[in-house]
Amino acid sequence: MADEFQDASRARARLCRALVQKPGRYLFAVGDDWQAINRFAGADVSVMTGFREWFGHGQVLKLEQTFRCPQALCDVSSQFVSKNPAQISKRVSSVTPTVGPALQAFQVDNRDKLADAIDRFVVRLAEGVKDGTILPGRNGKISVYVLGRYNADRQYSPTGKARFERWVDVSFLTIHAPRATRPTTSSCRRCSAC
């Protein structure tokens, strides 16, 4: 059995292929080519997307239901990922209810203005929850994930959380963080770049 198969290298694929050459040996691989992130470490997602070319006949079972995010976020991310014709096509669906906008993005003129813009945005959200114009989530708060490329981008997260922590949970994640459902995750378990 090979887990996280989307991050297999060609060398690992050759090893797996060699291990199952004799009759009565089988390979069970689990992975999601949409989550391939380890190209810098030698991973080659084509090992997974070209599974039959590497290993011959195989049955593909697609897990297309998620419990991690609402359908609106699935739709946005699926539209983006599906622009790459080399990805395995699938329809991701969710039963997780949407509470408020699933995704909001904004930009600033230059990096020096970013921390202040994020801070103002979070404070506005807190005011909305406080006055009832923004519905809170299950825990009485809303969650905000500040996403950065590297841990150094944490500097753009709001400070002085006492101003808003009663209404808003703010977490910083690198874009490589393994699960957005873990608000305490601050670095990637897969690479040292985060």
Could you tell me the residue ranges of all domains in the chain? 5-55, 65-94, 111-174
* C-alpha Rg value of the chain to the nearest Å: 20
DSSP for residue 88: P
182 pLDDT higher than 60:
no
44 pLDDT higher than 80:
yes
Average pLDDT of the chain to the nearest whole number: 85
149 pLDDT higher than 50:
yes
The terminus-to-terminus CA distance of the chain in angstroms comes to 28
Count the neighbouring beta carbons within 10 Å of the beta carbon of residue 44: 19
Q: What is the pLDDT of residues 65-98, one digit of tens each?
A: 988 888 998 999 899 989 988 888 999 999 888 7
What's the pLDDT at 178?
55
DSSP for residue 173: E
CA dist., res. 8 & res. 38, Å (int)? 8
